[in-house]
Amino acid sequence: MRVSLRPLTTITLLGVLCGCTTLTPEQTSSIVPPQPEVNAVAAPLNVEVTPIPAVDLWDRIRRDLVWSYPDHPTVIAQREHFLKQTGLFDALSERASWYLHYIVERVEERDLPIELALLPIVESTLLPQSMSHRSAAGLWQIMPRTGKHLGLQQNWWYDGRLDIRDSTEAALDYLESLNARFDGDWLLALSAYNAGETRVKRAQRANAKKGLPTDYWSLKLPTETKHYLPRLLALAQIIKNPQAHEVTLPPVPNKPSFTAIAVNGQIEVSSFAKQLNVDESLIRRFNPGIMRWATDPNGSPEILVPVEIADQALALAQSLPDTPRTQWHRYTIQPGDSLIRIAKRFDLEVALLRAANDINGSFIRAGDTLMIPTGGESTLLADGRRVYRASMRYTVKRGDSLYKIADRFRISISDLVAWNAIDPKDYLRPGQSLTLFPSES
């Protein structure tokens, strides 16, 4: 049975008020709104009313929320889960001020349900650096294989799954295609986004063989997926009527927070931020897809910056001298080579070779290749060696803390927090991925 989300009609509400039997979610979804009566005597005046633009982004979203939200036990449970989290909506509003306006704009441009703009809250709580234990990453929690299928570039320099614009376009493309495959049923499309199209189709076939309904509420799906859609519906309920749930949503400006500026060649993030007199974390906030200390030398000729400094950033980007950019070449490990020997040969630090090539320890094997950096941002040491600045990904292990990680890599806790846009009061989760810039010493 195809489930179509429509608001309850006046007739339905009257029926409920008059004491009729409570309708099931399937019944409410199948009600067709009554057609307006045609006045054969006098047609109403065609007065065009221009709605007042919303100042608050939450209000803009609220105006377009049209799906009905059945009081299903799983929806109630997820609503209570949201309401029990102290400070959640304060944090969400802050992150929404960075990313949500862009997502809302893209959803509206495609004429899609505005509820889809809330999906990144369910997926990642609007943290693009989020990574699941299954390696799903970004605002939309896209798996590596799915990302490749959707055309998202993923390399040593850059991960499109974390990029604000690229991941949003890819996710909405994917959702639209799933919606078409499930004949316009958004409940099934969203379930397939979470669990995979094959799994949802298999559950439908199993129900069909037993003569059972094949709508979302009737399918036997993984526990995570059964909670996934109710979580979105519960969130939309709260945003639709926060007062009824005793929630205060801090206002979010209904305007862009970032813009793209053209750059000529590779940009080193730290140096760029210093020249703009802003913290590096501010630039990385809008460019989480940058995995290293600089942009992809063969990637997009744009970088995102806060709207407030767009003119200054553009002028800086256009004035940057034609200095040599960081280049990389592959080195084939020879018999008898060691990391120390290779590092000395190329005037590099061993720590950089390890970070650049994801090597733990000192073991290397003849015939394998290493990525060797030349040019770019560096520090000249007293003994004449030049050390290049590199980043690395670190997976949080059980028992880790911000202090332990900072001490292990000789970095400050404040830097670790800034690089990853995390709350120092939050607990680190095993499997969580962090971006580190190891000490150059």
Parallel, antiparallel or unpaired: strands 433-436 and 392-395? antiparallel
Task: Locate 372 and state its tokens.
Answer: 């060797």
Question: Per this entry, what is the length of the chain?
Answer: 441
How many whole angstroms separate alpha carbon 314 and alpha carbon 310?
Answer: 6
User: Count H helices, E strands: the chain?
Assistant: 18, 8
Which of 436, 159, 130, 434 has the alpha carbon at shortest distance from 296? 159
Parallel, antiparallel or unpaired: strands 302-306 and 258-262? antiparallel
**Catalytic annotation on 224?**
no
- What are residue 284's phi and psi, to 5 degrees? -70, -25
How many whole angstroms separate alpha carbon 104 and alpha carbon 301?
Answer: 25
Active-site residue identified among 48, 105, 123, 302: 123
Which of 146, 431, 137, 122 has the alpha carbon at shortest distance from 291? 137
Q: For tokens 């394998």, what's the residue?
A: 368
Q: Contact 327/297 with Cβ under 8 angstroms? A: yes
How many whole angstroms separate alpha carbon 437 and alpha carbon 351?
Answer: 11
Write out the DSSP string of 160-192.
Answer: TTT-HHHHHHHHHHHHHHHHHHTTT-HHHHHHH
Write out the DSSP string of 324-391.
Answer: PPPEEEEEEPPTT--HHHHHHHTT--HHHHHHHHT--SS---TT-EEEEEESSSEEE-TTS-EEE---
Task: Locate 96 and state its tokens.
Answer: 């929404």
How many whole angstroms separate alpha carbon 179 and alpha carbon 197?
Answer: 10
How many whole angstroms separate alpha carbon 218 and alpha carbon 220?
Answer: 7
Active-site residue list:
123
